[in-house]
């Protein structure tokens, strides 16, 4: 049992090492936001208010979602062949990706919650009179406290990463086209038809807005496991 696990961890490390584009882009975006805030702080010291009383800004923690999105695109698109060429098995890549997304979702969720209760409060009181736009607040995830906010966001981000990863993995195959058409059909067909729209709203409420934190978290984790399990069959047939 130890050997397969060690290979999966090795595959995860390879993915992490080759995930620099996602990390660099995220760091650059967050760096630009921090520079902007520093400029605003300096201007305020000279009595210049660069923001009006109704200005709002996106939470700094929400920009970390870029790391999840870009990683879920780059890892299956760029790292599969590299990992296979280094002698890893397809199952190693499968489990290695799962480890990476779980760690990233936990890291982003933890840092996002910390920023919400610290830096965002500073931004609201010192820089932006209108406040900050943060999914933790707008999705109602902070209503049950910081700990549940972490788990709710973690579960959703893990599901989000898994969905993107799976869609990228199937591109170039007939079932990839079928998946793309299915997603487009859900958006275009479900929206104008009232019963289907109600079903879509129910689903989105279940995985995002549900008042029961445990139900929302469990639903996201169950869907994440179910969807990610499809990748085992995808990678079994994927050409190197």
More confident residue, 53 or 170: 170
Look at residue 187 in the predicted model and tell me its pLDDT: 75
- What does the pLDDT look like over 176-217, one tens digit per residue? 778 778 877 777 777 778 787 888 889 999 999 999 999 999
**176 occurs within a structural domain:** no
Is the pLDDT score of 8 beyond 80? no
CB 203 within 8 A of CB 135: no
**64 occurs within a structural domain:** yes
**203 occurs within a structural domain:** no
- What does the pLDDT look like over 153-167, one tens digit per residue? 999 999 999 999 999
Those residues with Cβ within 8 angstroms of residue 88's Cβ, 6 or more apart along the chain or in another chain: 7, 10, 11, 14, 96
Give the global pTM: 0.87
How many domains, in total, are found in the chain?
A: 1
Neighbours of 75 (CB within 10 A): 28
Look at residue 14 in the predicted model and tell me its pLDDT: 78
Return d(Cα 62, Cα 147) in angstroms, integer. Answer: 17
Return d(Cα 109, Cα 119) in angstroms, integer. Answer: 15
Look at residue 208 in the predicted model and tell me its pLDDT: 94
Look at residue 178 in the predicted model and tell me its pLDDT: 80
**12 occurs within a structural domain:** yes
Pick from 148-152, 170-174, 231-235: least confident? 170-174
Pick from 30-39, 47-56, 109-118: least confident? 47-56
Average pLDDT over residues 24-36: 91
Tokens of 3: 């050997």
- Residue 61 is given by DSSP the state G
Domain that includes residue 64, residue range: 2-169+210-236
Look at residue 182 in the predicted model and tell me its pLDDT: 80
Please give the span between the terminal C-alpha atoms of the chain, in angstroms, as a whole number.
26
Burial 136-154 (b: 16+ CB within 10 A, else e): bbebbbbeeeeebbbbbbb
Is the pLDDT score of 54 beyond 60? no
Tokens of 178: 């079928």
Look at residue 122 in the predicted model and tell me its pLDDT: 77
- What does the pLDDT look like over 68-93, one tens digit per residue? 999 999 998 888 887 777 777 888 88
Look at residue 6 in the predicted model and tell me its pLDDT: 63
Look at residue 199 in the predicted model and tell me its pLDDT: 87
- What does the pLDDT look like over 107-157, one tens digit per residue? 999 999 999 988 887 776 666 655 677 899 889 999 989 999 999 999 999
């Amino acid at each position: 049992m130890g050997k397969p696990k060690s290979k999966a961890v090795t595959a995860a490390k390879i993915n992490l090492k080759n995930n620099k584009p996602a990390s660099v882009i995220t760091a650059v975006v967050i760096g630009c936001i921090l520079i902007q805030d520093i400029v605003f702080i300096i201007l305020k010291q000279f009595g210049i208010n660069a923001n009006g009383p109704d200005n709002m800004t996106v939470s700094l923690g929400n920009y970390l979602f870029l790391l999840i999105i870009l990683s879920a695109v780059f890892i299956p698109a760029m790292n599969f062949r590299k990992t296979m060429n280094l002698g890893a098995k397809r199952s190693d890549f499968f489990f290695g990706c799962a480890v990476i997304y779980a760690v990233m979702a936990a890291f982003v969720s933890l840092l996002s919650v910390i920023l919400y209760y610290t830096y965002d409060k500073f931004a609201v009181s010192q820089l932006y009179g209108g406040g900050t736009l943060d999914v933790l607040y707008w999705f109602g995830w902070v209503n049950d406290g910081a700990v549940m906010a972490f788990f709710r966001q973690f579960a959703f981000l893990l599901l989000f990463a898994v969905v993107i990863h799976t869609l990228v993995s199937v591109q170039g195959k007939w079932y990839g086209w079928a998946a793309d058409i299915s997603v487009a059909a859900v958006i275009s067909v479900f929206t104008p038809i009232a019963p289907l729209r109600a079903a879509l709203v129910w689903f989105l409420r279940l995985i995002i807005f549900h008042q029961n934190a445990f139900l929302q978290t469990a639903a996201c984790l169950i869907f994440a496991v179910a969807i990610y399990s499809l990748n085992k069959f995808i990678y079994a047939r994927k050409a190197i």
